[in-house]
Amino acid sequence: MFDYRSLFDLSGRSALVVGAGSGIGQASAQALAAHGAEVYCADINLAAAQETVDSIQEAGGKASALIMDITDPESIAQGLAKTGTVDVLVSTPSINVRKPLLAYTPEEFDRVINLNMKGTFQVVQAVAKGMADQGRGSIIVFSSIRSQVVEPGQGVYAATKAGVLQMMRALAAELAPQGVRANLIGPGVVETPLTAQIKQHPEWYEAYAKRNALGRWAKPHEIAGAVVYLASDASSYVTGTIMFVDGGWLAIDGRFDPPLPQS
């Protein structure tokens, strides 16, 4: 019988997590290490990446920190010179400028596109080349529910999240013959440093909570399970897809509870 217990075992594998200094990236790094992977924790903030490394090592895992700015090809190259070819890539960084499209400046547009789309492309391309050469690898990029549904002030951000979805679908088709899988995760609302500003507005925070079936925000560790799944052999037949971890947001988006008869 097949050894099903080994499906999530990442022992002997290496993973590069970009954005590992906080939030979903940090939880992803910790989860991968807990399942046996040696994790390279990359972040633009080296001190934050080191804090993640310390937490992993305290739990008995293997990890090291490095600085990486995915908008800078030289920074990516310097980081990969330290990691070598890895088995798993997790790319989490993105930003949003919440403004109506007619109020966007060219500089703001470029800033969002440069990180969310171009930066993701640059790090994925650099890592995927090594994976293709070694004949295996799992690439995991973070998209969003905004790749499917949008609201005022999210136009450019949503465009980038839809863009990386299509880009990774194409990559999955291109690299499948080389044994490399490419998938995405689409979170709903998650409590991270990047969304902390929303928590300062109770009405806004509660409105988002009520937009999903579970009626609450997610914690970063609740996203990490999807990362481990897509990194492991449990998803060996999964590529070119997006896994939504959104508490049922897309299932009930725009919900209205009508006064239905109870009997």
CA–CA distance, 242 with 232 (Å, rounded to integer): 16
In a domain, 145, yes or no: yes
- Mean confidence (pLDDT) of the chain: 95
Is 229 in the active site?
Answer: no
Q: What is the pLDDT of residue 115?
A: 98
Q: Which of 157, 205, 208, 229 is catalytic?
A: 157
Residues in the chain: 263
Tell whether the model's pLDDT for residue 260 goes beyond 80: no
Whether this prediction's pTM lies above 0.85 is answered by yes
pLDDT band at 256 (very low <50, low <70, confident <90, very high): low
Q: What percent of the chain has pLDDT over 70?
A: 98
Domain CATH number, residue 207: 3.40.50.720
In a domain, 76, yes or no: yes
In a domain, 260, yes or no: no
In a domain, 203, yes or no: yes
Q: What is the pLDDT of residue 160?
A: 98
The tokens for 263 are 């009997």
Q: What is the pLDDT of residue 198?
A: 87
pLDDT band at 258 (very low <50, low <70, confident <90, very high): low
Q: What is the pLDDT of residue 263?
A: 58
In a domain, 255, yes or no: no
The angle at the Cα of 80, spanning 76 to 85, to the nearest 5 degrees, equals 135
Q: What is the pLDDT of residue 254?
A: 73
In a domain, 75, yes or no: yes
> How many independent structural domains does the chain possess?
1
In a domain, 259, yes or no: no
Q: What is the pLDDT of residue 261?
A: 66
Q: How many helices (H) and strands (E) does the chain have?
A: 10, 7
Element (H or E) spanning 73, and its range?
helix 73-83
Long-range contacts of the stretch 221-224 (C-beta < 8 A, 24+): 221/27, 221/30, 221/31, 222/190, 223/24, 223/27, 223/28, 223/185, 223/187, 223/190, 224/24, 224/27, 224/28, 224/30, 224/31
Ranges 45-49, 83-87, 159-163, 196-200: which has the least confidence = 196-200
**pLDDT tens-digit profile of 153-166?**
999 999 999 999 99
Q: Please, is 88 exposed, middle or buried when counting C-beta atoms within 10 Å of its C-beta (0-12, 13-18, 19+)?
A: buried
Tell whether the model's pLDDT for residue 148 goes beyond 70: yes
Report which of 238, 243, 228 is spatially closest to residue 9, judged by C-alpha positions: 228
- Range(s) of the domain holding residue 196: 10-248
Tell whether the model's pLDDT for residue 26 goes beyond 90: yes
CA–CA distance, 72 with 121 (Å, rounded to integer): 11
CA–CA distance, 248 with 149 (Å, rounded to integer): 13
Q: What is the mean pLDDT of residues 82-109?
A: 96
In a domain, 217, yes or no: yes
Tell whether the model's pLDDT for residue 196 goes beyond 90: no
**pLDDT tens-digit profile of 99-147?**
999 999 999 999 999 999 999 999 999 999 999 999 999 999 999 999 9
Q: Which amino acid is located at 139 in the chain?
A: I
Q: What is the mean pLDDT of residues 47-68?
A: 98
